[in-house]
Structure 1
Amino acid sequence: MPSYLAGYPPELVDQADALIAAGKMGAILRRKYPQAHAVRTDKALYDYVQAMKGDYLRNAPPLARVAFDGKLQELRNALGTHTRISRVQGGRLKAKREIHVAAVFKAMPEEFLRMIVVHELAHLKEPEHDKAFYQLCCHMEPAYHQLEFDLRVYLSHLEAGGEALWAGN
């Protein structure tokens, strides 16, 4: 069973495994998500995240930095991170928040990028992966759970030796 699909119902995992093994998953995902997004730079990603934050989390703490991160390991490790950095400046405690998105998301559909951004933005309000966290994710992106599943299937496709589907866009 692919590690990315752990926790999903076995019949769903078996269906995904069969499509991956038959070499059909790439075509299915490519039809469902035909092209990669146009957010390619850290500045464009910052603007993308700030616009979404403005739509859903206006009262959340400000973000000091948003960037694609080539050091994040897209396979087996984090796809995005939300960090809080606290420093003492003078007699005050200053906190900075940053979001880093794995560089692999430069060449993926906008829906997958949006799902990762929604996930990391939700951590501004909800630090734990609990019911309130996922409710906030679904508020910002109603298709959150489907997008997360599709992304996990795509990562399983890549892990099984499948081709990168949006690298040429």
Structure 2
Amino acid sequence: MNDLPYLNGYPADLVERVRRLMAQDRLGPWLESQYPTHHAIQTDKALYQYVSELKQRYLKNTAALSKVYFDNRQNPVKGTLGTNTFVSRPQGGKLKSKNEIRITALFRAAPEAFLRMIVIHELAHLKEKEHNKSFYQLCCHMDPRYHQWEFDMRVWLTWREHASSRAEGQ
């Protein structure tokens, strides 16, 4: 069983490096040195504005967003850091669609790069539904640092979980 579930699929040498930094209590300081600033986006309204600005910049011709908000019910351990919901309903003689983006509430306390990474990920689903080559190319088009941020965000989630389990054990 993997004791670092957020890092499944990454090369063993990277996972081992993270494991060593955790054992030496150096992972938190390393993350702080890499991502020293946090964002001020704390409300659903501010998140909607942030997402809308990115959408306008990179995905002007995609469907409008009806709702964007922080969701307290999403569970990162189960793999849900954000969701993009598409709902189509008949309304009169037309088909009305709604697009909603939900971001896990823990991103309120995350470095801005990690919030940006998950927003880019969910916005890319407006154009590409599957996690395929085109999807990741679109993510990298919106920000070339996407893959590094995704890995570092997974390291951050690992560190948070490790720190909270150590605090509970004391």
Q: TM-score range by the shorter chain?
A: over 0.9
Partner of residue 75, structure 1: 77
Instruction: Report matched runs for 1:62-101 at 5 Å.
Output: 62-101=64-103
Cα distance in 1 for partners of 2:13, 2:80 equals: 26
Partner of residue 111, structure 2: 109
Aligned residue among 59, 62, 65 for 2:61: 59
Higher relative contact order (CA 8 A, sep 6+): 1
Partner of residue 25, structure 1: 27
Cα distance in 2 for partners of 1:10, 1:73 equals: 25
Structure 1's unaligned 5+ residue stretches are: 164-169
Aligned residues: 163
Greater share of residues in helix = 2
Instruction: Report matched runs for 1:1-169 at 5 Å.
Output: 1=2, 2-161=4-163
Cα distance in 2 for partners of 1:157, 1:107 equals: 14
Shift of the alpha carbon at 1:162? 5.1
Cα distance in 2 for partners of 1:159, 1:44 equals: 27
Given the two structures, how large is their TM-score scaled by the length of structure 2? 0.92
Identity %: 53
Cα distance in 1 for partners of 2:31, 2:77 equals: 18
Given the two structures, how large is their TM-score scaled by the length of structure 1? 0.93
Partner of residue 168, structure 2: none
Structure 2's unaligned 5+ residue stretches are: 166-170
Measured on the aligned residues, the alpha-carbon RMSD in Å equals 1.2
Greater alpha carbon shift after TM alignment, 124-133 vs 72-81: 72-81
- On the 8 A contact 1:75/1:155 being kept in 2, the answer is no
